[in-house]
Amino acid sequence: EAGVAQSPRYKIIEKRQSVAFWCNPISGHATLYWYQQILGQGPKLLIQFQNNGVVDDSQLPKDRFSAERLKGVDSTLKIQPAKLEDSAVYLCASSPGYQETQYFGPGTRLLVL
């Protein structure tokens, strides 16, 4: 069974630029999560989807971050404009449904200069 796929794996941008990350969850998984992990900290949930609907986006900085999950499969996370403090690893995870084991993708490492 293929795991969670993410791209790109690395991204370097300058502040005020925009960037987008892509995630393809495990086939059949209804729930998809985007986490931000700053160096030395645990992952922080940004947004959770159930199929193509948003379940929780309470910690998403909506003035600059946006996310969508079209057709309940792939998802994209966008940052526009980026700030220095957005430098982090962005992890995508999926699970078959609510309250089931979450499987993480390899992450995208973002550096904002």
By rule CB under 8 A, what count of residues binds other proteins?
Answer: 24
Contacts of 63 (CB under 8 A, 6+ apart): none
Distance CA(27)–CA(17), nearest Å, equals 32
Q: Which is nearer to other proteins, 38 or 113 (CB)?
A: 38
| Cβ(30)–Cβ(48) below 8 Å | no
15 binds other proteins (CB under 8 A): no
Q: Which is nearer to other proteins, 17 or 45 (CB)?
A: 45
95 binds other proteins (CB under 8 A): yes
Question: Using the rule CB under 8 A, which residue among 40, 63, 70, 71 binds other proteins?
Answer: 40
* Closest approach of other proteins to the CB of residue 44, in Å: 7
Residue 85 structure tokens: 């403090």
39 binds other proteins (CB under 8 A): no
Read out DSSP for 40-91?
TS--EEEEEEETTEEEE-TTS-TTTEEEE-GGGS-EEEEESS--GGG-EEEE
Q: Which is nearer to other proteins, 18 or 97 (CB)?
A: 97
Instruction: Summarize as ranges the residues that interact with other proteins (CB under 8 A).
Output: 31, 40-45, 48, 50, 55-56, 91, 95, 97-107
